[in-house]
Amino acid sequence: MKVLLTGFEPFDNADINPSWEAVKKIPEISGFELKKVLLPVVFRKASALLISEIEKFSPDAVICTGLAGNRDRITVERVAINIEDARIPDNDGNCPVDQLISSDGPDAYFTTLPMRKIISRMEEAGVKAAVSNSAGTYVCNDIMYSLLRYISLSGKDIKGGFIHLPDDLTESMPLALTEAVKALV
């Protein structure tokens, strides 16, 4: 099974982004071909890069990750909404307010990742995880919505969704993401 994993570059004056640090450290997993992609924290640019990487790699599943520094555990996002509303400018200085991601898209998309299975496997591995019902309205929500819209419009059989990571640079984050990959089968 081919799995595309993404993490984000640093934003908001940080030196690193734990999401990319964790994705980088995911080891090889038998039975899976992994491709790791670093995304810019820039509205539109991130989703354009993600889609071009999907078209090159043809994955069976896409797991995007980002930092939610105010959360105390991993959260698997249930839903992405059709809104861009930035609290702070992105890394190119864009600061959309109350804008639609897609003028003709639905209000929301639900994840197609096996959310409960991912959470159970993470918890069995000793890493706290939960469902989140909001990916926010910044670049992480944007990438999740754009991913699910792309999958829906293309008709491709790809599982996709988004996982927010807490501000934790320990080995438990790559371990938890390894469990998320294994939960795909």
Catalogue the active-site residues: 77, 140, 164
Q: CB-based contacts of 134: which residues, under 8 Å, 6+ apart?
A: 77, 79, 81, 141
146 lies in the binding site for ligand PCA (CB under 6 A):
no
Query: Binders of ligand PCA: how many residues, by CB under 6 A?
Result: 12
Among 50, 59, 66, 79, binds ligand PCA (CB under 6 A): 66
Among 59, 136, 160, 161, binds ligand PCA (CB under 6 A): 136
Residue given tokens 């829906």 in the structure block: 152
Query: Residue 167 and residue 72: Cα distance in Å, rounded?
Result: 8
- Quick one: which segment of 29-37, 55-63, 64-72, 92-100 binds ligand PCA (CB under 6 A)? 64-72
139 lies in the binding site for ligand PCA (CB under 6 A):
yes
Q: By CB under 6 A, what part of segment 2-31 binds ligand PCA?
A: 8, 11, 17, 19
DSSP 170: S
DSSP 24: H
Q: CB-based contacts of 50: which residues, under 8 Å, 6+ apart?
A: 6, 37, 39, 62, 64, 143, 146, 147
CB 46 → ligand PCA: shortest distance, Å?
A: 8
Q: Give the binding site for ligand PCA (CB under 6 A).
A: 8, 11, 17, 19, 41, 66-68, 136, 138-140
